[in-house]
Amino acid sequence: MRGTAMPFPSGDISTLQRKDMTLSIEVEANKIRPGHGELSVIVLAPREPDPKTFEFRRTETVRDSARTAADTFGYEGGNPSFETEQHVVLDRDKTLAEAGVHDGERLHLVDVGGGV
């Protein structure tokens, strides 16, 4: 499909026009969003009843972002990673983008140290 995107004069509505069809996209002007290279995730940690929201670079590894989240929740040491709501434990060596993490996703902080 070909079309053209034109910003509305007010700056908060864009209109995509094609023959016989017009698609308007309204953008909440005042809502803060992470940049293209960032994503926002909601992290739940076992030791805290309430989740916390983090903004990470998409190129940041699961290992580093989970460490940041773990530190914020007060974890010391260990091998933190993220588990998705579908109970998939993310590969710590992948970036968040490579691991398929999407903006607004809920992730569970887990330790992947393993058994002995």
Partner 1 sequence: MIPAVVTAAAVDAEFPAVTAWAARRPGWAVRYDATTLILYADTIHPLTSQPITIAAELTGYRAVPPAWTITGPNSTFPTAGQIPGVSGSIFHPNRLICAPWNRLAYGEHGGPHPDWGGQTNWTSAGAGYTKGDTLADMLSQIALHLAVSPGMS
**Residues interacting with partner 1, by CB under 8 A?**
44, 46-50, 75-79, 81, 83, 87, 89, 91-92, 108, 110-116
E strands along the chain, which residues? 4-7, 13-18, 21-26, 38-44, 52-57, 80-84, 106-111
Cα first-last separation, the chain: 56
Closer to partner 1 by Cβ: residue 60 or 80: 80
Least separation in angstroms between CB 62 and partner 1:
10
Closer to partner 1 by Cβ: residue 35 or 49: 49
